[in-house]
Every structure is written in structure tokens, then in C-alpha cells.
Amino acid sequence: MEKEEETVAAAAPAPPPPPPPSRLDAGKLEHGCEHYRRRCKIRAPCCNQVFPCRHCHNEATSSLSNAKDRHEIVRHEVTQVICSLCNAEQQVSQVCNTCGVKMGEYFCDVCKFYDDDVRFVPFQLLRSLHLLKSRYLIGYIKFSSLRYRCPICSKTVLDMSDFWQLLDREVRQHCGSRSVGVNFVIKVIEAVQMPQEYQYEVRILCNDCNDTSKVAFHIVGHKCSHCGSYNTRRISAPDDQ
């Protein structure tokens, strides 16, 4: 019997080899410059030259002997990038349309910003949100810690629609509903009915659509009247009634 067991154990198949790394992650952290780890270069629209990043461009052009030639790049105007793995030039996007590599683990289409080094906040939190189970917990952390915003342009980089709806519901229902199921969210919204001294209007700027609105002040947040986002900031003093 012992010999039979040894034979069966010896015949057991070896575990399969680990799967090859995803093409998206090929070359990650192996390319870039002293400023950023990324898998693409940018073509500067101002001088049509190729640089690893905007800082490399600005450092190079600021040292030109002719003062008239010195200039800085406007990063929002960058339209072309060159993949560092296959050298294909293409329009700005996160994934190379030729070799399929992700040119930056973090990517902002507004800023034309790429970065493979996502070890630090806010990037690490953005990547780890899928580990949390409660969607309201996710929403609370996204909103209260401001990690849902791009650290450069402040636009929303996560799908916040569920949490915007949660805020809408809390404001409408005066915190009377306990169906939310997450006590600390309700604690954040301690009172929807603002005291008399806080019942005034403020003007806000939306970080997502760049439009302005005049809305009633509220401690929960200020909703953009145009796109419905709560990713806004006050741009005026209180307008007392």
C-alpha cells in the first residue's frame, strides 16, 4: 500500500508555470527620466522636438544661448507621444495602439501626464480601492480624503456617480433615512438643514466641467448645476440673503 501511495505521489503533475506578465505591464519602471518613470516620450508642440517629459523640455530650452528661443511647454497642448518600447508615435492615450503596452500606470488625459511609479498617495489609494467591500465605504474614502482627484488638474479620475447620488439622497432626505447602512457616512452628514447663519449662497467652480454655479452653501458639499459633480470649490465669499 505504501508503494502504491508513493507511485501516485510521484505521478502527480507538476504545478503549471506562472502565467507570463501582461503585455500592459511590459517594461514597467524600466523607462523614463530623472523626473518620472514612464514608457513614452512626448513631442513638444511648441518646438516639435521629442523629450522624456515636460521638465526635460523646460530644462533644455531654458539653457539655450539665444534668449528668444527659450520657452516652456504647455503640457495641456501635447497631442503626440512616442512609445518607449516600440517607438510608435501616436495620439495621447494610456495604452500604445501598436504594441499594446500601458505607457503609464497612472494617466491623466487632461494633463497629458504619465507615471509608472504609483507607490505613493494618492496613486496607491486609487489602485487599492477595489479591495474594499462596501461601495459606500469606497465612496466615503474617495470623497473625504480627496483621493478621487487628479493631483495635477484636480479633475475626477474615478467613477464617482454612485457617491454623487448618495450625497443627493442625503441632502434631499435630511438624513432621515438609515437605509444607507454605513453609520460613519451619516455622521459626516450630521445635519442637512443648515443653521440660519449658514443659509446663504456661494459661487463655485467645477473642477470637472470648468463651469461656475451659484448654489446654497452646505457643509456636505456643493453640487455643480451643470454636470452634477461635487468636485467643486468655492470661488466667492458668502452671498448673504
Gyration radius of the chain over CA positions: 25
Pick the CATH number of 128-180+189-234 from 3.40.50.510, 2.20.28.10, 3.90.380.10, 1.10.3720.10: 2.20.28.10
Least confident of 68-77, 99-108, 173-182, 221-230: 173-182
| pLDDT value at 170 more than 50 | yes
Kindly state the average pLDDT of the residues 193-210.
83
Region of 138 (left: φ > 0; alpha: ψ -120 to 50; beta: rest) is: alpha
> Could you tell me the residue ranges of all domains in the chain?
23-118, 128-180+189-234
| pLDDT value at 52 more than 80 | yes
% pLDDT > 70, the chain: 63
DSSP 50-103: EESSHHHHHHHHHT-SSGGG-----GGG--EEEETTT--EEES-SB-TTT--BS
| pLDDT value at 84 more than 60 | yes
Main-chain dihedrals φ then ψ at residue 62, nearest 5 degrees = -70, -15
Pick from 146, 144, 157: nearest CA to 111: 157
% pLDDT > 90, the chain: 31
Q: Can you read off the three cell numbers belonging to residue 197? A: 447663519
pLDDT at 152: 66
Higher pLDDT, 4 or 121: 4
pLDDT at 75: 87
Higher pLDDT, 50 or 18: 50
Question: Is the CA virtual torsion 90, 91, 97, 103 positive or negative?
Answer: positive
Least confident of 65-74, 125-134, 218-227: 125-134
Higher pLDDT, 225 or 187: 225
Kindly state the average pLDDT of the residues 180-205.
62
| pLDDT value at 77 more than 80 | yes
